[in-house]
A and B are shown apart, each in its own frame.
Chain A
């Protein structure tokens, strides 16, 4: 997870409705799966443990966001629990296959949630967040894309 990805995710969250947040969570966890696999291949124990911990937090958040009044929540819960267990196995056995098994759950479900999020007409959860505009100003010798995004409050200055 690079800082650029983090900024991107932050921006998307600020505009997201409840289902879109789920989609974003899925995408975040998939990034962490990649991080974990890379750390495993390069034998970086600390990075591996940190990635595992993050994956577990993501799965935990997804579990907590389930409303069991709907039956489909049970199906999702079973899959999350399975994934959780595989991740626990991966953290103990240090084998990539368990990470892959867990990852497949999220890869399989992501397209479905994307579809649902398109149909979700609820408004963004973060009220009064800025709406993001992108504008282009152009002149004789330059073309500047103006992007009022999440960190525009500093107007690009670092201080």
Chain B
């Protein structure tokens, strides 16, 4: 039971209750927290403080925006890091599925885990948001468009010069000027002529994806070849290799094969490696590894092998254009782009066009999240947050149920890994810029850059917390100045 005998206080309180007018304005002051509440209180003072207040508010808002920007980046980066870990795991699984010693049952188990991971990647990307705004679905990505439905702007860096460009897209050709075809009869790769690249950026080059040779048989893959191996097209007769007892142990090519004679003038040795690989070597540094799907391949068979020095991906290519000034543009070309659509019904292998009309590409620079990070007009930072999705990363149809499909999966996952790396690097760069922006917003010129990355793990955090706790108590005076909030309405807002 509390007894308070401070009657004067109670009387004063009652007096306050009776006075309606003063009640009203004191309530107003309660909610606004300012001494000056309306012009009638103090006209000149009100005008001045209004102006200062709006300046302060603008600065605070800018600071708030920058801090929010950091939270946005951290949320996005956290999600991409999670996704990247999952893609690494996909890589491990695909590599395991691609080895020869797995049974199809083992691969089924792997496929289940793969499906689970891709579903989780999709969920993470879709559900990552900040303050109800989705971050990774491309909403805040700078948009790019083309006038060809089979050619898509996959990504472009912030340093890329915006604008409208025209690119001629051509199939990749071999040394004789003939377009390279893949095993399904589509063009094996695409490129852009140097003239168009020069109009786009200085010293721009097209890079390809790693994959080095093609065959005209789906069941025979060029695994690798040394740089001394002569590029070109060869026909080899692949035969079964037998041991002394007449048992089939793998595949081989007769050393007197004409194709081998074209490949190199030196004496060639062909060695079966395991039950499904073959190593072709010669003294001049020629080294060629072929892998054969023993389940589906029937020897003896003539197979055409093209060593092009260039490479492409399955399911449409990524043409990656880069320049030294930071320009980077990824275009995704659907392999249907070159199909002659006037041929009905479509043939197999498909009837291809020799060329397609030039593609107009518009890099708009529109879409990024805009943050006002200064009190004045024009102090804007734009965050372009790339879309992360299974489709964007090229891993929406991963199949590890057979050795060959697992190998293709590895190549797709490689692109996904490099894409997530690009995204993370981009977010990291934004973080740096925001650090600098916040530093310049403060009245002092203190360099805050270190504070954003100094504490890395929980142990360090605990140490720092303890250390700071002691410092706060010992330096109460400076702490009162260092961390103080003179705007109660801000604290009140936290309760909304």
Q: Give residues in A with beta carbon < 8 Å to B.
A: 1, 6, 9-10, 13-14, 16, 18-19, 21-22, 24-25, 28, 49, 53-54, 56-58, 60-79, 81-82, 84-85, 88-89, 91-93, 101, 104-105, 108-109, 111-113, 115-116, 119-120, 122, 125-131, 133-136, 143, 145-146, 148, 150, 152-153, 155
Contacts A92-B124, A105-B461, A105-B465: A18 and B480 contacting too (C-beta < 8 A)? yes
Q: Are A64 and B10 in contact (CB under 8 A)?
A: no
Mask: chain B, 1-38; 1 = CB below 8 Å from A; 0 = not:
11110100110110011000001011101100111000
Minimum C-beta distance from B21 to chain A (A): 13
Q: Are B16 and A130 in contact (CB under 8 A)?
A: yes
Known: A6-B495, A56-B131, A64-B60. 14 other contacts (CB 8 A): A49-B129, A66-B482, A70-B478, A72-B483, A74-B446, A75-B464, A76-B482, A81-B70, A81-B451, A104-B462, A109-B472, A119-B476, A133-B4, A133-B13
- Cα distance A1–B78 in the bound complex, in angstroms: 27
Q: Are B495 and A28 in contact (CB under 8 A)?
A: yes
Asked if B481 is an interface residue, CB under 8 A from chain A, the answer is yes
Q: Which residues of A contact B480 (CB under 8 A)?
A: 18-19, 116, 119-120, 122
Contact of A134 (CB < 8 Å), options: B4, B64, B128, B467? B4
Minimum C-beta distance from B289 to chain A (A): 41
Q: Give residues in B with beta carbon < 8 Å to A.
A: 1-4, 6, 9-10, 12-13, 16-17, 23, 25-27, 29-30, 33-35, 60, 63-64, 67-68, 70-71, 74-75, 77-79, 82, 124, 128-129, 131-132, 442-444, 446, 448, 450-452, 454-455, 458, 461-462, 464-473, 475-476, 478-488, 490-495
Contacts A130-B30, A133-B10: A65 and B82 contacting too (C-beta < 8 A)? no
Q: Are A75 and B467 in contact (CB under 8 A)?
A: yes
Minimum C-beta distance from B388 to chain A (A): 12
Contact of A54 (CB < 8 Å), options: B3, B444, B483, B494? B494
The 7 closest A-B pairs by CB, nearest first: A18-B484, A70-B482, A108-B465, A112-B472, A88-B74, A82-B455, A135-B10
Q: Which residues of B contact A128 (CB under 8 A)?
A: 25-26, 29-30, 35
Residue of A nearest to B479 (CB): A116
- Cα distance A53–B458 in the bound complex, in angstroms: 22
Minimum C-beta distance from B415 to chain A (A): 23
Q: Which residues of A contact B131 (CB under 8 A)?
A: 53, 56
Q: Which residues of A contact B471 (CB under 8 A)?
A: 72, 75
Contacts A112-B472, A135-B13: A13 and B492 contacting too (C-beta < 8 A)? yes
Contacts A13-B492, A109-B465: A73 and B483 contacting too (C-beta < 8 A)? yes
Q: Are B455 and A81 in contact (CB under 8 A)?
A: yes
Contacts A116-B473, A116-B479: A88 and B71 contacting too (C-beta < 8 A)? yes
Residue of B nearest to A77 (CB): B451
Q: Are A93 and B485 in contact (CB under 8 A)?
A: no
Q: Which residues of B contact A120 (CB under 8 A)?
A: 476, 480
Q: Which residues of A contact B465 (CB under 8 A)?
A: 79, 104-105, 108-109
Q: Which residues of B contact A85 (CB under 8 A)?
A: 74, 78
